[in-house]
Amino acid sequence: MRIALGISYLGTHYQGWQSQPSGQTVQDQVESALSRFATVPLNTLCAGRTDAGVHGLMQVLHFDTDLAREAFSWVRGTNRFLPPDIAVQWAQAVPDAFHARASALARRYAYLLLESPVRPSVDAGRVGWTFRPLDGDAMRQAARHLIGTHDFTSFRASACQALSPVKQLTRLDITRKGAYWRFDFEANAFLHHMIRNIMGSLVQIGQGLLPPDAMAEVLAARDRDAAAPTFAPDGLYFLGPRYDPAWGLPERTSAYDWIE
């Protein structure tokens, strides 16, 4: 049978999601825990790979197994072998036609940014940081240039393996609560470092270093050198994919409430 899992993790101490020879990735930890619980090797496929230092509130993965276990057993049994900063949130049997990556209709991220003259402390590694005040209206005006289907080459890392730089960004909302800014992104898919590169340009515009319309010029340039440097991974959270409701999978985990 095919099993889907929802995973949450703090990415601070890991070299991203995808398995590496070092074994210091989230996928390595999850597959090790699954295999120890199942007592047979299990390999997984995920909805979206995250970079080193990036967090996940609902990474979705699937794997195939001959073992018959109740859903709660996959959750509790796997969590027994996981480190404290990674946890299975839910498990569900799915049809063989379901694919964690290929079945995803969209992917959602949030970036949390602290605006403060003092660096983060208790939230170190969990938020980005700017010590200069930000203009929310300027950033929102700039963000509007990115909504829609565009060639996002200017925000694409050189190591990106995507077949096309053209993506459809359907949401980029910017809100503030106290000293913390939240940037919500949703697209059919994202390029490598795309959100962090957009964040770099948004912050420059928010700080008044560039006018809002500069975002349109950066986008049109289709040149990575036209955009700002890549922003820190600390405040980036993978909220998870969106699937057709017919699959019956959860759309959120309790960790969503933590970053509200």
Rounded CA gap, 202 and 174, in Å? 10
CB of 255 closer than 8 Å to CB of 58: yes
Q: In 233-258, which positions are buried (b, 16+ CB within 10 angstroms) versus exposed (e)?
A: bbbbbbbbbbbeeeeebeeebebbee
Residue 51 a catalytic site member: yes
CA dist 1 → 78, 85, 96, 97, 101 (Å): 17, 28, 7, 11, 18
Question: From the candidates 28, 51, 66, 223, which is the catalytic residue?
Answer: 51
Rounded CA gap, 182 and 136, in Å? 11
Catalytic residues: 51
